[in-house]
Amino acid sequence: MMKFMLKNKVGMIFGVANKRSIAWACAEACLNQGAKLAFTYQGERLKENVEKLTKDLPETLVVPCDVTNQQEVDAAFAAVGEKYGRLDFVVHSIAFAPREALEGEFLTTTREAFLTAMEISTFSLTQVSLAAMPLMKDGGSIVTMSYYGAEKVVMNYNVMGVAKAALEASTRYLAADLGRHNIRVNAISAGPINTLSARGVKNMGTLLNYVGEKSPLKRNVEAREVGNTALFLVSDLSTAITGETIYVDCGYNIMGI
Ligand code: 1JT
């Protein structure tokens, strides 16, 4: 009964940069369950990475999609419509803020850094949800990625924390709007993982050690575990869950002192 949970389902994966990406872990979990997947990449720089990762997969589509370019977003969804004629789920695993904004004080965040973080990390979920809606003819599931810094102050996370708080709120508002189309929208709040994005962050090693010691499970989260939760959320095992933020953090967020 649990075999091929995503048989006959088509998904779209945003945010693969390389094989360590959370988006790629989500893709692998979904591919193992028989999904057909379209991948988007941001900029020519990442095209080759995504094409290499997906070259042996059947019935995949690889399309450019810089979310700051509405034409690219529209073209990406048009390509999915043309190839598959439908869409069942989306994994949105996109975020960006200038590196300087993720150190020091939040107080000194520039207007430009603030607007960039909000456009790419937050507004893109609304943009992608609207574009996905007409293709999700039999309902659907949209999953995005958040982080604890949305809820509590995490030093250095700064403007990304504000963007993720707005992303979690967007998840609820989108879930309310799309519920009547049987489209669910949920967020995963993942513990810190050493991906390409995280690598550029100061003191990431220290943060990983701290979380690894303080969390109830006494370890860090693996991307594969986030991928498996994304699989659950896009599958028919979670058909009554929408608007939620699910922590996948080895229990870190439940701890006080
Ligand atoms: C971005 C980056 C979004 C790193 C991110 C992120 N969401 C989580 N991380 C990892 C992280 C980063 C910091 C942190 C804790 C976790 C980098 C590129 C822009 C988007 O602070 C303690 C800063």
Q: Which H or E element spans position 74?
A: helix 70-84
Q: Percent of the chain scored above 70 by pLDDT?
A: 99
Q: Is residue 3 part of a domain?
A: no
**Residues counted in the chain:** 257
Domain coverage including residue 144: 10-250
pLDDT number for residue 237: 98
Query: Is there a domain that residue 232 lies in?
Result: yes
Catalytic residue among 41, 157, 247, 252: 157
pLDDT of residue 1: 61
Indicate whether 158 pLDDT > 80.
yes
- Average pLDDT in the 123-131 region? 98
- Residue at 257 is within a domain: no
Q: Tell me how far apart the alpha carbons of residues 148 and 251 are, in angstroms, rounded to a whole number.
A: 11
pLDDT band at 202 (very low <50, low <70, confident <90, very high): confident
Residue 83 belongs to some domain of the structure:
yes
What is the mean predicted confidence (pLDDT) over 19-44? 98
**Backbone φ, ψ for residue 87 (5° rounding):** -150, 135
Mean pLDDT over residues 6-17, rounded?
Answer: 98
Q: Specify if 103 maps to a domain.
A: yes
Question: DSSP assignment, residue 169?
Answer: H
* Total-model pTM: 0.98
What is the CATH classification number for the domain harbouring 111? 3.40.50.720
C-alpha 160/C-alpha 102 separation (Å) is 8
Q: Tell whether 211 is covered by a domain.
A: yes
Q: What is the pLDDT of residues 60-109, one digit of tens each?
A: 999 999 999 999 999 999 999 999 999 999 999 999 999 999 999 999 99
Instruction: Give a yes or no: residue 203 inside a domain.
Output: yes
Average pLDDT over the chain reads 97
Task: Give the distance (Å) from ligand 1 centre to CA of residue 232.
Answer: 24
Q: Is the CB of 227 under 6 A from ligand 1?
A: no
Arithmetic mean of pLDDT, 125-151: 98
Confidence of residue 215 (pLDDT cuts 50, 70, 90): very high
Mutate to test the pocket of ligand 1, among 109, 151, 160 (most ligand atoms within 8 A of CB): 160
**Residue 3: per-residue pLDDT:** 78
Is residue 172 in a domain? yes
* Total structural domains within the chain: 1
For the residues 124-142, what does the mean pLDDT come to? 98
Nearest-CA residue for ligand 1 atom 11 is 198
Distance of alpha carbon 24 from alpha carbon 101, whole angstroms: 26
Nearest residue by C-alpha to atom 10 in ligand 1: 198
What is the rounded CA–CA span in Å between residue 29 and residue 116?
Answer: 31
157 noted as active-site residue: yes
Q: Output the pLDDT for position 118.
A: 98
Q: Name the residue among 53, 66, 61, 83 with its Cα closest to residue 128.
A: 66
Mean pLDDT in residue range 182-207:
95
Share of the chain above pLDDT 90, in %: 97
